[in-house]
A = this chain, B = another copy of it.
């Protein structure tokens, strides 16, 4: 009977989900390397070896957590973008940046797992690349639509990409996340995007300690500056910050 076979599979799916959930809780408190399969097993009330029926290795468990993390971050970024006026490209950029930062502050260990130093010995499988692009896709769409709408203040003069390799890379960027955008804008978009994550990394990993304390306010300014770098319109009534 189908329902009985499903019953077995359903309890399996449920246990798999429960293990991942407990693991995610441990990850939030202990970090990726502190995550212990045995501790998860204890909390599940099962033997440590039994957990290996569900996740063949700690790396597989980490992969699940990574994918979930990318999806969670992607979702909040998508929602942040969706909550904005579609024509307000500058506002969407700011909303997306703040969504990333807020999520990172709320889930520091998970963020570190996604954007921090990779766990040694861990090789990210192909399943992670699609979720990993969710936030970037949102960002790319903003730039793309801003460009299409003519809302982008493209800096004067041609870009002079120089090496042909950059053009190749930008073609890939265009194809995957930022259709229709010229090279010069795409380069700056990549710069701005990495800049946001660099900023958040500095904040999260302690580089700002004892120097920059009013992070939210400074983040606003950095996001505005990086947005201006892409050519996105500034918030109304703001001077050149």
Q: Write the residues of chain A forming the contact surface with B, with a CB cutoff of 8 angstroms.
A: 30-34, 109, 112-113, 115-121, 124, 129, 132, 155-163, 165-166, 168-169, 172-173, 176, 184, 187-188, 190-192, 194-199, 201-202, 205-207, 210-214, 217-218, 220-222, 225-226, 229, 238-241
Q: Is the CB of B117 within 8 A of A195?
A: no
Q: Is the CB of B187 within 8 A of A221?
A: yes
With a cutoff of 8 Å between Cβ atoms, the chain B residues found around residue A109 in the complex are 120
Q: Which 5 A-B pairs have the closest CB atoms?
A: A198-B198, A116-B117, A165-B214, A31-B120, A195-B195
With a cutoff of 8 Å between Cβ atoms, the chain B residues found around residue A221 in the complex are 161-162, 166, 187, 191
Q: Is the CB of A195 within 8 A of B199?
A: yes
> Can you list 13 A-B contacts with CB-CB less than 8 angstroms, sorted by A residue number?
A31-B120, A118-B206, A159-B239, A173-B212, A184-B241, A190-B212, A191-B195, A191-B221, A194-B198, A194-B222, A195-B226, A198-B198, A201-B201
With a cutoff of 8 Å between Cβ atoms, the chain B residues found around residue A113 in the complex are 117
Point out the residue from B156, B191, B210, B217 that lies within 8 Å of A240, measured CB to CB: B156
Q: Is the CB of A207 within 8 A of B169?
A: no
CA distance A225 to B192 in the complex (A): 9
Please, which residue of chain B has its CB at the minimum distance from the CB of A207? B115
CA distance A200 to B218 in the complex (A): 22
Q: Is the CB of B191 within 8 A of A199?
A: yes
Q: Is the CB of B213 within 8 A of A165?
A: yes
CA distance A225 to B160 in the complex (A): 12
CA distance A238 to B158 in the complex (A): 10
Q: Nearest Cβ in chain B — how far from A85, in angstroms?
A: 22
Please, which residue of chain B has its CB at the minimum distance from the CB of A29? B120
With a cutoff of 8 Å between Cβ atoms, the chain B residues found around residue A119 in the complex are 33
